[in-house]
Amino acid sequence: LVILGLGTFGAILGNTITFLIIGLASILILYLALYKKLHKLNDDRPKIVENIKTMFKYGLPLSISAIISGFLTQFYNFLIAIYATDLMIGNYSVATNFAVLITFFATPISTMLFPAFSKLDPQKEKETLRNVFQFSVKYAALLVVPVAAMIIALSQPAISTLFGDRYAEAPLFLALLAISYLYTAFGNLSTGNLMSSQGQTKFVLKLTMLTVAIGFPMGFVLISQFGIIGLIVTTLTAGIPSLIIGLRFIRKHYGVTVDWTSSAKILLSSATAAAITYALTSQIAFSSWIKLIIGATIFLFTFLTITLSTRTINTSDINNLKEMLSELGPLSHLLNFLLNIIEKLTTIFQF
């Protein structure tokens, strides 16, 4: 629709129609795959009502959490429209589009964690739950944190490769946005999934309300004073108290916590690789796309060297990662190729 000449209206219309089609298709699939089969079952209305009550008791707090989080996002957008210039909003939009690359690694992990945690009984399988939680944080950090650190180090050549010098502020915005994904090493992706899987949705709602209570006044003050920078700082800091409280909650109720040693090693390896990459690429006078390729190579080599030499990852971890990434479709073949190389390097560094 945009190519046909409808411009911004075409983009909005296309996005709306897409959601409408998906919604109608979902209703049709739900009817054919589930609802028609329900008529063949025995009519046990009391049990159905009881199940519906349980579902509402569990799901309603999560729905409210999503709604008020959406209000907070719209509040930020409202403030940006008032206090930020069109140029800064354009730079921020470019940065957020690049940051989506990190979600390609974060979203599948977050999706897999809930069913994994929900199968465990914290009373009968306490040790298993502790190990699963720690491994989930470690493997999520191994995938997400290095990608975020590399984007921070290479934000300038990455933006320049596609857009040239038209968006001068976008590299800074991108680097700041990527910082939020470093929280993965502190259990940011795993904590909420663990609490939700164990039915603690009311507590999840309380944490969301705390984040919103901090985000509204902080966002107003910082965005009105510093524009886009204020927005990014707000999103980076508003959720930290909720994360800390969530970690304390799961430690108190389930006896689980983050493997801080592994997280520290991953963060240190990523930070060191990012610093070396940035220092070297900033001295290179090549075109942006060449700097991007060289920088990515330097980062991967440095990160793998540090990670393997400090034994942050072992053969068992690589096998587990292969199993986790098998659900990513065609992308899993490329990642498995890289993991096979890392596995061979691991055997070398073990001597």
Task: Say if residue 212's pLDDT is above 80.
Answer: yes
Residue tagged 């000449």 (tokens): 5
pLDDT at 44: 58
> For residue 332, what are the CA distances in angstroms to 283, 321, 329, 337?
34, 10, 6, 8
Cα separation, 16 vs 256, whole angstroms: 42
Cα separation, 123 vs 164, whole angstroms: 57
- Choose among 2, 33, 219, 190: nearest CA to 109: 190
Q: b or e along 93-117 (b: 16 or more beta carbons within 10 Å of the residue's beta carbon)?
A: ebbeebbeebeebbebbbebbeebb
**Contact between 298 and 280 (Cβ < 8 Å):** yes
Task: Say if residue 231's pLDDT is above 90.
Answer: yes
Cα separation, 173 vs 255, whole angstroms: 38
Cα 27 from chain centre: 28
Radius of gyration of the chain (CA): 23
Which tens digits make up the pLDDT trace of 306-324?
Answer: 988 888 887 777 777 777 6
pLDDT at 146: 94
The one-letter code for the residue type at 122 is P
pLDDT at 339: 75
Least confident of 50-64, 159-173, 231-245, 256-270: 50-64
Q: Alpha-carbon torsion 168, 169, 170, 172, what sign? A: positive
- Choose among 295, 304, 297: nearest CA to 277: 295
Task: Say if residue 22's pLDDT is above 80.
Answer: yes
pLDDT at 224: 93
**CA-based angle 234:239:240, to the nearest 5?**
105
Helix (H) or strand (E) holding 312: none
Torsion of CA 110, 231, 248, 258, to 10 degrees: 50
Cα separation, 350 vs 225, whole angstroms: 53
